[in-house]
A and B are shown apart, each in its own frame.
Chain A
Amino acid sequence: MIGQMLDPRQEFGKAVTEVAREDNSVVILSADSGKSSGFGEFMELYPERYYECGIMEQGVIGIASGLATIGKKPVFCAIAPFVTSRPFEMFRNDLGYMRQNVKVVGRNCGFTYSELGATHHSLEDFAIIRMIPGVVVLAPQDPAEIRQATKAMLQYEGPVYMRIGNPKIPELFEEKAFEIGKGQLLSSGLDVTIVTTGSMTCTVLKAIEILKDYGIYAEVIGMPTVWPIDEKIILESVEKTRKVVTVEEHYVIGGLGSIVAEVCSKNNPVPVKMLGVPHTYASSGSYEELLSYYKLDVKGIVESIRDFV
């Protein structure tokens, strides 16, 4: 099931460049962030469509909005906190309120920039960006899905935020067209529903194999569109399992866990256990150490789900 390891940023950059070959309205904006976002080839092929702005993320979002009013499709990628929390008002007003066709991509998401500390972590991006009406929030789960989600968001008319990581991640899925707003049933079971997203999906798929040894058969829903959420797939599953665990590299409040709890409390109240990072400034350290410390590695997820079920 698990294939080769690939760099999410390179897969994203290649996919944008592929779309840009056919669609000359695609333009790239950089806040001194282009090369590290996988745009090396784009810069060589289409220098006239590459706008370097230097380290000014607020300015870049405004400029992207202006370009979109002229019919361009701006793509802006930089370190996740710098494209979400820093220019939040520009995101809200210039992209959300103005309904602009701009694609913002936060790379090095979650705490993948682990050793650089809390300034470089992005553990609130789902929470704050989903609060902007009309903005789609994506967190694709493997390299193929990153490529396909990139193409899908460039076909979609409207503001999109996509979050990708930085360490290499394994191929999990066959390459297939990405449908915005749809969750995926990745494994069937009757004991508990696990809803997860982004690179956590791979860890969860490993964890459920171990849970089987304890007699726990989990249903796994991969949720590469965090907002708007696929309510139907969640409700169909909890109808069977009567309990949910959410797993995300994000604060336990405000993100996927809160979204799933909102869906359940409104439609079918069942217990919801949220696994993620506690509401604090996360430690620095190696990525693997952080995952282990916050119980987001296979071992931690298995223990938490065993306790819950």
Chain B
Amino acid sequence: MKGANDLEKLEGYELELVAQNCRENVIRMVKASGHGHIGGAFSAMDIVTALYFRIMNIDPKQPKKDDRDRFVLSAGHKCMVQYAVLAERGFVNKEILDTYGKLHSTIPGHPDMYKLAGIEANTGALGHGLAIGTGMALGLKSNRTNSKVYVVLGDGELAEGSNWEAAAAASHHKVDNLVAIVDYNGLQISGKVEDVMNMTPIADHFKAFGWSVKDIDGNNMKEIVETLEQIPLEAGKPTLIVAHTIKCKGLSLGENVASYHYWSPTLEELQKTEDEMKRNKDRLVKKIEEEKS
């Protein structure tokens, strides 16, 4: 196993193992509070893990350093993904995960930048993150830094018109240090995104707004890393990655089930889930050992 100083070299199964540990962190939060937005947290987990453990210029010891890359979780209800990864990356002690859902917790049901190191914006109401990210990217460009801004959007969230105001502004002002990633798991509370409000084809919409666009498998670590290492895809254009994901990826009873958008597990389900997390982890550890030998 590589140590903390070798994080930038993590790849393949090692990154997948980190994502698996983070999924365990999410289950720990669900266990503490009795419920949580697990579907989106698990679908976006591989992307967010890759960003924090491989792609972004960040330092848990200096969470506010000027030249850091910024991460904005526009779909703030997926916040367990960010809390899980921040804890795994060393921004905060893992014990705070047990406070999820509790009074005065520093990890509330939607993120609060004044409560937890590493949170850059107070999101939760949908359709805010892309405009905030566009402003960050404009400001960083004007300061002539190389920092990038990564915004994770939900697919159902794209029906909010404010996203398209930001999409136009980012393109008009040529902010090529802005990267938006749509967690396209295809499901929202009421059912299929295409049935609730069809915002497809997502890629074509953003292309028409002047963005550089790529479709990827958002649960394939190799593909995620290869794509994110090529940013910007085109100079002078903001980048949009349509990450095709599976809602609740990594929890077999919830995969591709819309009702797992928000999950209140029974004790039996929780026990089964913990067992599944352990099996998945053991499988990855074994694969890493096999690769070594």
Q: Chain A interface (Cβ within 8 Å of chain B)?
A: 27, 48-49, 51, 53-54, 56, 58-59, 61-72, 74, 89-90, 93-94, 97-99
Closest 7 pairs (CB-CB, A-B): A66-B135, A62-B131, A70-B139, A59-B165, A63-B135, A56-B165, A66-B136
The answer to whether A66 and B128 touch across the interface, beta carbons within 8 angstroms, is: no
Specify which of A49, A53, A62 is in contact with B132 (CB 8 Å cutoff). A62
Whether A66 touches B132, Cβ cut-off 8 Å, given contacts A51-B138, A71-B139, A99-B114, is yes
User: Residue B131 contacts which of A54, A63, A74 (CB distance < 8 angstroms)?
Assistant: A63
Q: Which of B113, B124, B133 contacts A66 (CB 8 A)?
A: B133
Listed A/B pairs (12) with beta-carbon separation below 8 Å = A54-B172, A56-B169, A59-B168, A62-B128, A62-B135, A62-B162, A65-B132, A66-B131, A66-B135, A66-B139, A69-B135, A70-B142
B163-188 interface code vs A (CB 8 A; 1 in, 0 out): 00110110011000000000000000
B49 CB–A CB distance under 8 Å: no
Cα–Cα, bound, A54→B167 (Å):
12
Besides A59-B165, A90-B128, A93-B124, 18 more A-B contacts (Cβ < 8 Å) are A49-B142, A58-B165, A59-B166, A59-B169, A66-B133, A66-B138, A68-B135, A69-B120, A69-B139, A70-B136, A70-B140, A71-B139, A72-B139, A90-B131, A93-B122, A94-B121, A94-B122, A98-B122
In the complex, are the beta carbons of B134 and A62 less than 8 A apart? Answer: yes
Given the known A-B contacts A69-B135, A98-B113, are A63 and B142 also in contact in the complex, defined by CB atoms under 8 Å? no
Residue of A nearest to B76 (CB): A93
Contact A65 B135 (CB under 8 A): yes
Given the contacts A56-B168, A56-B169, A58-B165, A63 and B134 also touching, CB distance less than 8 Å: yes
Which of A49, A69, A70, A93 lies in contact with B128, CB distance below 8 A?
A: A93
Is B131 in contact with A61, judged by CB distance below 8 angstroms? yes
Asked if B17 CB lies within 8 Å of chain A CBs, one says no
With an 8 A cutoff between CB atoms, is B137 at the interface? yes
Complex-state Cα separation, A63 to B142, whole angstroms: 14
Residues in A with CB closer than 8 Å to B122 are 93-94, 97-98
Residues in A whose Cβ lies below 8 Å from that of B189? none
Total A-B pairs in contact (CB under 8 Å)?
99
Task: Please determine whether B136 and A69 come into contact, CB atoms closer than 8 angstroms.
Answer: yes
Chain B residues whose CB sits within 8 angstroms of the CB of A97 once the complex forms: 122
Q: Is there contact, CB below 8 Å, between A90 and B136?
A: no
- Contact present for B169 and A70 (CB under 8 Å): no
Bound together, the chains give a CA A62 to CA B135 distance in angstroms of 7
Please report which residues of chain B, range 99-134, place their CB below 8 angstroms from some CB of chain A when the two chains form the complex. 113-114, 120-122, 124-125, 128, 130-134
Q: How far is the CA of A93 from the CA of B165 in the complex (A)?
A: 17
Chain B hits for A68, CB < 8 A: 135
Chain A residues with CB below 8 A from B138, complex form: 51, 63, 66-67
For A74, list chain B residues within 8 Å (CB).
135
Q: Who on chain B is nearest to A71 by CB?
A: B139
| A49-B139 Cα distance, complex, nearest whole Å | 10
B139 → A minimal CB distance (Å): 3
Tell me, in angstroms, the Cα distance from A289 to B291 when the chains sit together. 84
Instruction: Name the distance in Å between B93's Cβ and chain A's nearest Cβ.
Output: 25
CA distance A70 to B120 in the complex (A): 11
Contacts of A27 in B (CB 8 A): 142
Minimal beta-carbon separation of B72 from chain A (angstroms): 8
> Are B140 and A94 closer than 8 Å at their CB atoms?
no
Give the distance in Å from the alpha carbon of A63 to the alpha carbon of B138 in the complex.
8
Interface centre among A27, A58, A66, A74 (most CB of B within 10 A): A66
Binary interface encoding of chain B residues 79-114 relative to chain A, with 1 for a CB under 8 A from any of its CBs, else 0: 000000000000000000000000000000000011
| B143 at interface by CB-CB < 8 Å | yes
Give min CB distance, B76 to chain A, whole Å: 10
**Are B125 and A93 closer than 8 Å at their CB atoms?**
yes
Chain A nearest CB: distance from B133 CB in Å?
A: 6
